[in-house]
Structure 1
Amino acid sequence: MFFKTEEQNQRYEEIGQLADQFSKRAQLHDLEATFPIENINDLKKIGYTTLTLPKEFGGKGASLYEFILLHERLAQGCGPTALSIGWHVGIILDLATNRPWTKVKYAAIMEKVKENALLNRAATEAQTGSPTRGGKPQTMAVKDGEHWRVNGRKTFTTMAPALDFFLVSATIDGSEEVGEFIVPRDTPGVRIEETWDSIAMRATESHDLILENVKVEEDHLLEMVSSRPRHRANGWLLHIPACYLGIAQAASNYAIEFASSYQPNSLTHPIIKLPNLQRQIGEMELKLKHSRHFLLSVAEKWDELEDKTVTIPDLAAVKHVVTNSAIEVVDQAMRVVGARSLSEKSPLQRYYRDVRAGLHNPPMDDATIQTLAQSAIQRSSISTT
C-alpha cells in the first residue's frame, strides 16, 4: 500500500474495519434515503472527525496525503458517509492551512471540533448554482446594532441532519461584499427543509438550509469571501475524487467476487477464468491504479510545496481524471456481472448512481479543461519569450 508510517497503517486498518461494517448498512440507508448517523458516531469514536484538526488543538494533524489515503478506504464501505464527513474533515484542513479567522474565533471553534462538533459550508443556492461559478448569494446579511440578521435559503447542505455549525455565505446588505458567517444549529430561525430527492448519494440527506431572520453575534462574520485569493489551491477538495475512487474500487471488488463464484451450467468453471472477463478486470485495475497514483502524488505535492497555488491545474486534473475513470470502472464492473447488476439487491446499481454525482461536485469538467488550457498557454508563452 502507500503508507509512509506505521501510524498510517494502523489508522488504515481501523478505517477499513469500520468501512466493512458500513457496507452492510449502506443498502438500507440508500433504500430509505436515511442519513447513516450511526456511521458518523462510529467515526467520532475513533477520532476521524478530528483527523485534520491541528495537534495544538488536540487533533491528529493529518496531512492531505493521509486524509486522502484513509478517505478512499472509507468510501469503499459507504460512499454517502465518506462524502458527508469528507466535507467536514476537508474544511478543517482548509482552515488549518489558511487560518482565515481571528485567533480567538478560530481557537473557540476548533475547541468545539475537538469535542466532535461537525461543520460544513452552506454556499450553494438554487439561483446561483455552484459557488465556484461566481454567482452572488441571494442570502442577505443585515447589520443590526452589534448583531447580524441573516435571511436566505441554501441548497445541497450535505450532512444536514448531523451538523452543529453552518458556514453560510451571504451578501452584505448595501455592498457588493460577500461574507461567511458561522451559524450554530440551535440558533432561532434556523431549520432544515427536507428537499433531498436525488437518486444519487441519497443517504447524504443534502437538504435545504432555511435562515429566517437569524440573529448572530457581530464576530460571527468570520471573513469576507470576496477577499479570498481568486486562485486558491483547495487541496482539501481532493476528498471528492477520493470518495468516488473508493466507490469504484468497491464495484471492482464486487465484480471480481461475483465472477469468482458464478458458474453457469454451460461452463465447467467460474466465469472469472474466461479471457474476456479477465481482460475487463485488468482494464478496471489499470484505471484504478492510474487514478490512485495520480491522486496520491498530487496530494503529496500539495503537502510539500510552500507555494500551493502551483498545484491548481494538477488538483483540477485529478478530480477530472479520477471521477471520470471511476464512472468507467463502475460501468465495466456492471458489464462483468451482467443484468444482475441492475437488481435492486445488487450494490452495483447503487455504486452506479452514487458515482455519477461526482460530475456535479467542484470543479466541474468544463472549468477544469479551461484551467488546463490556460496553464498550458501560459507555460508555452513563458518558454518562447
Structure 2
Amino acid sequence: MSLLNLTTADERMKKLTSLIKPFKEIGAVHDRQQTVPVENIHKLRQSGYTALPVERRFGGEEISLTELISMQEQIAQADGPTALCIGWHMGTMYQLAQEKNWPAAMQERILTEVVTKGVLLNTAATEKATGSPTRGGIFQTTARKVGENWILNGSKTFTTLAEELDYFLILAMVEGEQQPGLFLVPHETAGIEIEKTWDMMSMGSTGSHDLHLKDVTLPAEFFLKYQVKANTPQAWLLHIPACYLGIALAALKEASAFAKSYSPTSIKGTISELPAVRQKLGEARILYEQSKRTLYSVSTEWDGGNEDYRKTMTAALAIAKYTVVNQAQQIVDLSMRVVGAHSLAHASPLSRHYRNVRAGLHNPPMDDKTIEDAAALILSEE
C-alpha cells in the first residue's frame, strides 16, 4: 500500500519503519563501495514517500514539518546517506507547498509527476568559486535569453544524488540583471554532464558529483522565478539536523547492544554493568533527549505559527541545527568510547556513523554564522 493512501501520521510512520528495514544492510554495502544506495532510493520513490509533502490538490498529503523531519530521522537511523539524499527532495517539495511561487502550469506539471511517477528534484547551487550560497557569493553560472529560449552555462558542485535526479533546479545569474534566476532543467537535456568527482570520507555514498552545463537550451517556461531573499526562513532545512540526529541514535543503540553482549574474561557479566560504561551511555542518552526536544519543539512552533510568527524564527531554526549537529558528534563519540577499538573496524556500523555524522558540520547554516547571529541578537537587546 502506498504511503499516500494512509490517513494518519502514525500509520505512515509504521509503514515507513517496516519499509526501511533492509536499508541498514544495503547502506553498509554501498558505503564500502562508495556508491549510491539506489535500492533504498527506488523503494522510497515507489512507496509514495517522496510525494508526501506535496499539496493535496496535486495528490500529496501536505505533511507538516514535524512529520517530515521525524520520518527523515527514522530513515537516517537505518542509513544516513539515504536520508540526506532524499531529504533535499523532500525539503524542496515542502518549501514549494508552503510558498507556491512557481508558475502555475509548471508547478502542476512537475508535482503531478512527483505524485504519479515518483520523480526527484534537487537544487544545484554550490559552486567552487563561491562556496556555499548562504555566504552570499555571486553565481558564476549564467543564463542568457536568446529569442524565446534560455541558454545556461556553468558548473555546480555537491549536486547530491546527481545521477538519480529527474530534474535539476539550477540557480544562475541572469545576464543583464543583478539577481539570479531559478531554472528547471530535465536530466536528459542536451549539454548536461555529470562528472563523478565525489570522493569523500563522510557521506561518501550520496553521489554528490559535479554538474556541468554547456550551452544548455531551455524553453521560456523552464524559467521559474527570480531568486530573491525570502522574508520567511527556510524551515525545511531542519531535515539536515534530523538526519544527523538519526545517525547519532543509531550509534547509541549500537553501543548499547554491544555493552549488553560483550563480556570479557576480566569481569563477571557484561560491560553494561561497569560504571564507566553506564556513565558514557547515560551522557549520550541525555544529549539525544536534549537534541530531540530542541529540534521538535522548534518544528512544532513552526507548524503552529502564522506567517508573521514564522518570520521571527530564523535564529531558532539555526540554533536548532547548531545544537543537534554538534551534540550528534558527541553522541557518536561517546558511543565509540563504549565499544572501544572494535568501533574503528570497517565492519562496525559505528565507523560509518562516525564518518557520516561529520558532514553535518558543513551543511547550512554554518556554525560560525549561527554564533555570530546569536551574539548580535543578545547585543541588540536592552
**TM-score normalised by length of structure 1:** 0.95
Query: Contact conserved, 2:345 with 2:351, CA < 8 A, in 1?
Result: yes
Determine which of 195, 198, 202 is the counterpart of 1:196.
198
Query: Within the alignment, does 1:325 sit opposite 2:317 as a pair?
Result: no
The answer to whether the aligner puts 1:289 opposite 2:311 as a matched pair is: no
What is the Cα deviation at residue 6 of structure 1?
A: 8.3
Which residue identity is paired with 2:30? H
- Please show how residues 158-237 of structure 1 align to structure 2 within 5 Å: 158-225=160-227, 227-229=228-230, 231-237=231-237
**What is the letter of the counterpart of residue 35 of structure 2?**
T
4+ residue runs of structure 1 moved beyond 4 angstroms? none
SS at match of 2:269: coil
Residues 19 and 76 in structure 1, CA contact (< 8 A), matched pair in contact too: no
The DSSP-based 3-state class of the residue aligned with 1:152 is strand
Check conservation: 1:258, 1:337, Cα contact below 8 A: yes
Decide whether the 8 Å contact of 1:35 with 1:161 is kept in 2.
Answer: no
Q: Gapped runs of 5+ residues in structure 2? A: 1-5
Greater shift, 315-324 or 31-40, is seen at: 31-40
- Equivalent positions of 1:1-385 (< 5 A) are 7-114=8-115, 115-225=117-227, 227-229=228-230, 231-306=231-306, 307=308, 308-378=310-380, 380-381=381-382
The CA distance in 2 between the partners of 1:112 and 1:149, in whole Å, is 25
What is the rounded CA distance, in whole Å, between the counterparts of 1:147 and 1:131 in structure 2?
A: 26
For the Cα contact (< 8 Å) 1:188–1:214, is it kept in 2? yes
* Structure 1 unmatched runs, 5+: none
162-171 or 17-26: which moved more?
A: 17-26
Give the Cα separation in 2 of the matches to 1:374 and 1:97. Answer: 29
Instruction: Give 2:3's aligned residue.
Output: none
CA RMSD, Structure 1 to Structure 2 (Å): 1.3
**Aligned partner of residue 313 in structure 2, secondary structure:** helix
Task: Read off the aligned partner of 1:180 and give its amino acid letter.
Answer: L
SS of equivalent to 2:155 = strand
Distance 1:220 1:8 in 2: 34
Aligned residue identity for 2:68: F
Quote how far apart the aligned CAs of 1:7 are: 2.0
Partners of 1:46 and 1:110 lie apart in 2 by: 16
Range moving further from structure 2, 34-43 or 318-327 = 34-43
What's the CA shift for 1:372? 1.7
Question: Structure 1 counterpart of 2:101, which letter?
Answer: P
Residue deviations 1:105-152, cap 9 Å, x none?
211111121121100000000000000001111001111100000011
Instruction: Write the distance in 2 (CA, Å) between the matches of 1:26 and 1:110.
Output: 28
1:273-317 per-residue CA deviation (whole Å, 9 max, x = no partner) reads: 111111111111100011011101100111111121111110000
Rounded Cα–Cα distance in structure 1 between residues aligned with 2:177 and 2:49: 40
Deviation at 1:232, TM superposition (A): 3.3
Amino acid at match of 1:208: D
| Matches of 1:266 and 1:318, distance apart in 2 | 43
Q: Which moved more, 1:201-210 or 1:231-240?
A: 231-240
TM normalised by structure 2 equals 0.96
Paired residue type of 1:23: K
Per-residue deviation, residues 36-78 of structure 1 (Å, max 9, x unmatched): 1110111122211011011111012100010011110110000
Displacement of 1:175 in angstroms is 2.8
Rounded Cα–Cα distance in structure 2 between residues aligned with 1:181 and 1:6: 34
Secondary structure of residue in 1 paired with 2:205 = helix
User: Residues 13 and 181 from structure 1, CA distance in 2 versus in 1: closer, same or farther, beyond 3 angstroms?
Assistant: same
Contact 2:72 2:242 in 1 (8 A): yes
